[in-house]
Amino acid sequence: MRNEIIGRKEQCERLKACLEQNSAQLILVYGRRRVGKTYLINEYFEDRFAFKMTGAYDQPKKVQLANFTAELNRKSGKKWNAPGNWFQAFELLRQYLEQLPQDQKQVVFMDEMPWLDTHKSSLLPAFEFFWNDWGSTRHNLVFIVCGSAASWMDEKFSRNRGGLYNRHTCRIYLEPFNLGQMEEFLKSRKIYWTRYEVVECYMVMGGIPYYLNLLNSQYSFNQNIDRIFFSKRGELWDEFDMLYRTLFTNSDHYIQIVEALAKKRGGLTREELARETGISLNGSFSKMLSNLIASGFVCEASQYLQKKKNMRYQLSDPYTAFYLRFSKGQNGKDEHFWSHSTDLPSRRTWEGLAFEQLCKAHILQIKQKLGIDGVLSTVSVWSNKGDAELGIPGAQIDMVIDRRDRTINLCEIKFSEDEYVIGKEDEASLRNKKTAFRTLTRCRKTIQMTMITTYGVKQNMYSGMIQNQVTMDDLFHEK
């Protein structure tokens, strides 16, 4: 490993453990596109691969096999002709690997393997035979399969019902950086922003290393966003369509789903989502939702005390939410849009929604701050239209943490440029939420009102009902 790989300590330790095993290793590495999978493997192994190839997007089997042969010839110094199928290709790989020193680790890396699995390619049966018949018996073989299509990786390997069932020895799902890792990454690039700006950056880009690498230390945060998103043919002007097209077949339907979710703060049920998009409510629709969840674009929002069939789906990818709200269709119309939008109501609304999703992505840090990271708990949301007969108006809770120690944290999430000031109306609203929740859910547990804010709650005559606080700084702690 050339240098310390920021934010990937746990993954590096797992790769190290695999290398130290005296048995064949089949390692799966997956996660959403742009999250840094290829970088992790290349940097950790320092490009010292016995063989490596990358699948080509939207290319037929003939082209993929030609690329495979070119890489094999380059490594071996031979001049094999391109095989006619993947069974023959893996046989050539076997012949090549058998000629290498057997007292050394042989690392094989097949990147973007889902792109190799073209229509009627027989890639998986061929790989299955190669691994089960030969690869799994080689004590010095480390075979790494990598792909951005998380659903494909899960279906073809993790939940495979055939010869590849339970054959992998290590599975690494690479997640975006959290806030702490993101801050460390920015500092490594000489970008020294306030934590408020780092939070804003996360709300725009998420913790995606590829996007963060586009930031320039010579510009302010707002200038960077203008340059990357709003300048004519900026760095990410065509990223959205390319992102979804390369991850999902029939990408138009996937885009319809995220566009519908982007319009609804509280999310949508399956039935509501089907109506909004006009997509038939069938098995294909369910698979699309599962694929979006597996790839980190959509999350399930459990409703407190409600059954799974009432599950709501929310857009959870910061980049997608930002693009659909602000960047779509701009392409240079106002190259300083973000700098000019500081006081726009639409930006304030977006900040509240985006910060709420950021907090949900850092639930472990929130629990750590509350001192309940060792307590079994569930996280959900709650809303109710109220009860006219009881004189209870409707209420909504941003986050409900239901703990095994018979305590519930009702969390109110607020994004603010300064300490959040609870006024008379705010205090009345919070009291109503607590009363409505206790009465309408028949809750007998201890309820703690909790505020999650950027800079904390300003102490005044109305702030006494807040038992716990979580601030922006708390979200930067490593889990």
- What domains does the chain contain, in order, with CATH numbers? 9-173 (3.40.50.300), 179-237+331-357 (no CATH), 240-327 (1.10.10.10), 362-476 (3.40.1350.10)
The CA distance from 411 to 452, in Å, is: 7
pLDDT surpassing 90 at residue 333: no
pLDDT of 50 reads 96
Residues in CB range of 22: below 8 A, 6 or more apart: 139
Average pLDDT, the chain: 93
Q: Which of 398, 354, 6, 418 is nearest to 199 (CA)?
A: 354
DSSP 3-state of 45: helix
pLDDT surpassing 70 at residue 138: yes
Give the helix/strand (H/E) hosting 469.
Answer: strand 468-470
The CA distance from 352 to 323, in Å, is: 16
Burial class of 441 by CB neighbour count within 10 A (0 to 12, 13 to 18, 19+) = middle
pLDDT of 195 reads 97
Name the token pair of 199.
């939070």
The CA distance from 251 to 256, in Å, is: 9
The CA distance from 253 to 23, in Å, is: 43
Q: Which of 319, 286, 326 is nearest to 32 (CA)?
A: 319
* Region label for 36, one of left (φ > 0), alpha (ψ between -120 and 50) or beta (otherwise): left
pLDDT tens, position by position, 210-238? 999 999 999 999 999 999 999 988 889 88
pLDDT tens, position by position, 405-421? 999 999 999 999 999 99
Tally DSSP H helices, then E strands, for the chain.
20, 12
Question: If you search the block for the tokens 């393997």, which residue do you land on?
Answer: 113
pLDDT surpassing 70 at residue 479: no
Q: What is the mean pLDDT of residues 469-473?
A: 97
Total Cβ atoms within 10 A of residue 112: 21
The CA distance from 115 to 152, in Å, is: 10
Q: Distance from CA of residue 267 to its chain's centroid?
A: 18
Confidence of residue 147 (pLDDT cuts 50, 70, 90): very high
Count of alpha carbons within 13 Å of 324, Cβ hemisphere only? 19
Cross-strand bridge partners of residue 301: 312
pLDDT of 157 reads 85
Name the token pair of 234.
């900026």
pLDDT surpassing 80 at residue 3: no
DSSP-assigned letter for residue 472: G
Cα–Cα–Cα angle for 61, 65, 69, rounded to 5 degrees: 175
pLDDT of 156 reads 84
Say which residue, 436 or 333, is predicted with more confidence. Answer: 436
